[in-house]
Chain A
Amino acid sequence: MSASVASVLQSLNQIILGKDAPLRLVLACLLARGHLLIEDVPGMGKTTLALALARVLGLHFQRVQFTSDLLPADILGVSVFETATGGFRFVPGPIFAQLVLADEVNRASPKTQSALLEAMEERQVTTEGETRPLPEPFFVIATQNPAYQLGTFPLPESQLDRFLMRISLGYPSAEAERQLLLERERRDLLAELTPTLAPAQLVALQEQVRAVRTAPALVDYILALVQRTRELPGLRQGLSPRAGLSLRRAAQAWAFIEGRSGVIPEDVQAVFAAVVNHRLIVAAERDGAATSAAEILAQVAIP
């Protein structure tokens, strides 16, 4: 594991206790230049995670709380008339940050949701005929409350596809929770964190991830996995080619975190569930998405 990645992980582990595996996934998602969807009930430390990440990586952080009356302009920014100059001035919205936390993204109207998702995909914002690039690196963490509630707009499948990974932190272990209660407030600890990585270094790491080798044998494995999802009777829809590309990118990032110059099948397996679960559309009303990723893995032999 490269030293810089190791120190980032170590810092994050100090803040979010007992969540090494999800944290690695978050980091992999970031290194793969993907965006992250966290599905958790409130109070699991989503915001703390985002803050810690921003802090450790030295990223400019913005948080948007999504509500039903949130308008696209509230995220993207507006032009205001300035009497002093007699012209319009663009006031950038909260999306113009290196790390954006879109909290409870499913509470906003589809229109606002799509404004965010478009910006995520394009890495630029177009308002009033003018296109403005978003900062680099650019990483969105969106959270979603899995419990369906009145007045929410669950993200449609096509939009879910825009997120490289979906994870949930879940409840901490008893040991971790005990420590959490014993120790000081997390937010205080956060303030003490020092950035271990500059944004420019992060971009360089992202470039290195792209260079991680995916051998033909490994591509065959990814293909076999993708193919399997298209054959399974329990699934309404198999994985798209984009999902296959995402799987490769995520596995590259995972291999990079592990310090390998190429992807091995275990890397694919490690990221498979996070990359695939929100893209699989289960046919029957079976809350088995989490298990079905594992099932698919178990059914496909490594070529």
Chain B
Amino acid sequence: MSATAQAADLADYLPVRTLLHLLAVFTLVLGPHVAHLPVWASVAIAALLLWRAYATRRQWRMPSKLLRAALVLVVLGAVFASFGRISGQTAGTTLLCLMGSLKLVELRGRRDVMVMIFLMYFMLVTHFLYSQEMWTAAYLLLSCVAITALLIECQHLGTMSPRQTLRKGAVMIAQALPLMLAMFVLFPRIPGPLWGLPEDSGATAHSGLGDSMSPGDIASLIASDEVAFRVRFEGPAPAPAARYWRGPVFERFDGRTWARHWTQPPPLPADALHYDGTALRYELTLEANRKPWLFALEMPQLAELPKDASFNLNGELLAAKPVDERLRYTLRSNPRFSFAPPLDARDRERLTRLPRGFDPRSLALARQWKAQGLSDAAIVQTALRMIREQNFVYTLRPPTLGRDSIDEFLFTTRRGFCEHYSSAFTFLMRAAGIPARVVTGYQGGTLNEPGGYYVISQADAHAWSEVWVDGRWQRVDPTAAIAPERVERGLGAAIGAAEGLPGYLADRAPWRDLLRARWDWVNAQWNGLVLGYGPELQQRFLERFGIDDVRKMILTLTVLLVAGMTIVGFVLMRRAAPAHAPDAALREWQRLLRKLARRGYAPRADEGPRDFIARVLSARPAWRPLLQPPLELYLRSRYLDTPDAAALAMLHRLVRTLRLPA
């Protein structure tokens, strides 16, 4: 290495402390990605970080260019091998994080740190691909402060303590917030999720009801306290027991699993549903679930379906495409209704079909009821009575069931969750020749008092049955027979604490409930105002300010930006100006000096005013009557006396009218 190169390296030398700070900030920035990256990538990144920390401590040599190039290729290959591509949400993020960490290997001086810093700002944004929740935004804001503090540290190497740089970083980010808000509000919105990458949909697991149901599916859903949707009723809410939120309907059974129909059923004819009683209007905000079904209180009015949604013959409300982003729609439902779509012989056969060779005892039991000559309605009641009276237990942790799951449940274990009951009941009905199917959805919901809306979470997931009796579909909830408090007061009331309820359900301290409610309300606001701020909301918001087209808005944006920058610039200039603004006397004196300068007389910087004028007068004695009075006034105003307005005014007049003769 030549001497000059060495000197250049030294000039760019990076203190160990700054490097360790860089590593810490880098960890902060990448930390949350551990949940999304493949394990090997996380391990590799951690290894690179550790290596860098050690290399600096121990003064190890940097790897050669060849090795670095090889590492890049290895990383590219590994990402491709893992994902089959190097673009897309997770693959791209993985590649970005790995390459960013590889930069650590060739980190030498301040310039590299600057590159890292800008990389980190960019990497930070990728978190929004995975989560747009409030805490994510808060975390990113904090990380932003940390990165900015590092940037400041690099600009003032060794002169500022971490506390100072952090404070300054926080101040700078805080100063940037108004601009961020303005951009957020004004930046033109495009429809669709801002962060979702379509190629990767489905990659992130969203819990929710699936398109099939096996024993244990819903019980496992209960463990999650994720919100399924929120509902705001326009009038009074119906009683809890009437709040059945209808979702996917299952009519194929293979002995273990209930699944939806092979093909999409056709839309429901308008005359198949008759409504009774008063309708309830409500607004439902559905969380993204990557499934096409929308939930509705039984039964929605077909005349007022959400845009692009359809209501099919099975009574499923379906969106045109999977719900990939939070969806808000308004519905009108009648809790009292008559659901009587046409049912021909083929439908009847399909809806009573059972797999061959399964559950012989249940089959025999139902056939026996039928043989006794009971009516359909009586068979329903008999089955419910059996569940109610024969020591059945409603539990979150039912024993696992073998091949003949219905038989085992009905005659041996007798412990089950809603899916067991609805499944067994539907089986019995079909065995007795009554068309029946399983309906899944949610039941109940908790009032959020501060927000005045209902939260329906995954814990409210439920399954019940629908049977064709008296020429129409009728809802039968066998769970209500064994555990009526489930439908009346929710899961927490139906299952004792000893059962091992999920923590969030078991702990019913009132203050925690209230806290949870408030938190949910805050989240709902965040969802509605921040994440839900799409093209429509933006337009509505801007219209309030009289901005109704994009061009006007861009104009506004430009004007606001320019105005903001002008104000900031002005403030900065004021601050950079010397502590003592030039006083009035000095200003007048400088004007006089400019007039003298035009005649070729300029003072030296260290020349006092008296000496300067004396020098000028020695060359131009004729100017004495012109220059002596302003000099005296200037000295008087600036040095001899406390400034007085009369002298200043006089000085001003003298200087302004000063004409130096040739």
Contacts and interface: CB of A to CB of B under 8 A. Distances in A.
21 contacts: A213-B639, A215-B638, A215-B640, A217-B586, A217-B638, A260-B640, A261-B641, A262-B639, A262-B640, A262-B641, A264-B609, A265-B608, A266-B608, A269-B606, A269-B608, A299-B606, A300-B605, A300-B606, A301-B606, A302-B607, A302-B608
Contacts of B605: 300-302
Q: How large is the interface on A (under 10, 10 to 19, 20 to 34, 35 or more residues)?
A: 20 to 34
B61 to A, nearest CB: 39
A303 B606 CA distance: 9
A264 B637 CA distance: 11
B635 A264 contact: yes
A269 B607 CA distance: 9
B583 interface: yes
A265 to B, nearest CB: 4
Contacts of A215: 638-640
Contacts of A281: none
B640 A264 contact: yes
A76 B245 CA distance: 109
Contacts of B586: 217
Nearest to A258: B610
Given A217-B580, A263-B639, A266-B610, 20 more contacts: A215-B638, A215-B639, A215-B640, A217-B586, A217-B639, A260-B640, A261-B640, A261-B641, A262-B641, A264-B608, A264-B609, A264-B635, A265-B608, A266-B611, A269-B606, A269-B608, A298-B604, A298-B606, A301-B605, A303-B580
From A213, A217, A220, A303, name the one whose CB has the most chain B CB atoms within 10 angstroms. A217
A213 B608 contact: no
The list of the 9 closest CB pairs from A to B, nearest first, reads: A262-B640, A301-B605, A265-B608, A266-B608, A262-B639, A215-B639, A264-B639, A261-B640, A266-B610
B224 to A, nearest CB: 68
A217 B583 contact: yes
A264 B640 CA distance: 7
B580 A220 contact: yes
A300 to B, nearest CB: 6
Contacts of B611: 266
A251 B608 CA distance: 14
A215 B642 CA distance: 8
Contacts of B640: 213, 215, 260-262, 264
A220 B607 CA distance: 15
Contacts of B606: 269, 297-302
A217 B606 CA distance: 14
A239 interface: no
B354 to A, nearest CB: 98
A229 B222 CA distance: 78
B412 to A, nearest CB: 96
A216 interface: yes
A298 to B, nearest CB: 5
Contacts, number: 51
Interface string B607-626: 11111000000000000000
Nearest to A213: B640
Contacts of B635: 262, 264
A155 interface: no
A9 to B, nearest CB: 20
A284 B363 CA distance: 113
A117 interface: no
Contacts of B583: 217
Contacts of A302: 605-609
Interface string A62-73: 000000000000
B610 A264 contact: yes
Interface string B638-651: 11111000000000
Nearest to A296: B606
B579 to A, nearest CB: 9
A134 interface: no
A264 B635 CA distance: 7
A216 to B, nearest CB: 7
Contacts of A300: 605-606
Contacts of B610: 264, 266
A218 interface: yes
Nearest to A261: B640
Interface string A239-283: 000000000000000000000111111100100000000000000
Interface string A199-226: 0000000000000010111101000000
Interface string B520-557: 00000000000000000000000000000000000000
From A265, A297, A300, name the one whose CB has the most chain B CB atoms within 10 angstroms. A265
Contacts of B580: 216-217, 220, 303
Contacts of A299: 606
From A260, A263, A266, A303, name the one whose CB has the most chain B CB atoms within 10 angstroms. A266
Nearest to B582: A303
A301 B641 CA distance: 22
Contacts of A298: 604, 606
A262 B583 CA distance: 17
Contacts of B604: 298
A265 B609 contact: yes
Nearest to A294: B606
Contacts of A263: 639
B639 to A, nearest CB: 5
A213 B641 contact: yes
Contacts of A297: 606
A162 to B, nearest CB: 29
A40 to B, nearest CB: 28
A294 to B, nearest CB: 10
Contacts of A220: 580
A300 B609 CA distance: 14
Nearest to A263: B639
A217 B608 CA distance: 12
Nearest to A218: B639
Nearest to B637: A215
A303 B609 CA distance: 11
Contacts of A269: 606, 608
A74 to B, nearest CB: 46
Contacts of B639: 213, 215, 217-218, 262-265
A218 B638 CA distance: 9
Contacts of A217: 580, 583, 586, 638-639
Nearest to A260: B640
A224 to B, nearest CB: 10
A263 B635 CA distance: 9
Interface in B234-249: none
A262 B642 CA distance: 10
Nearest to B579: A220
A297 B608 CA distance: 11
A303 B638 CA distance: 11
A39 to B, nearest CB: 26
Nearest to B640: A262
A218 to B, nearest CB: 6
Nearest to B643: A215
Contacts of A216: 580
A297 to B, nearest CB: 6
Contacts of B609: 264-265, 302
A261 B640 CA distance: 6
From B580, B586, B608, B635, name the one whose CB has the most chain A CB atoms within 10 angstroms. B608
A215 B636 CA distance: 10
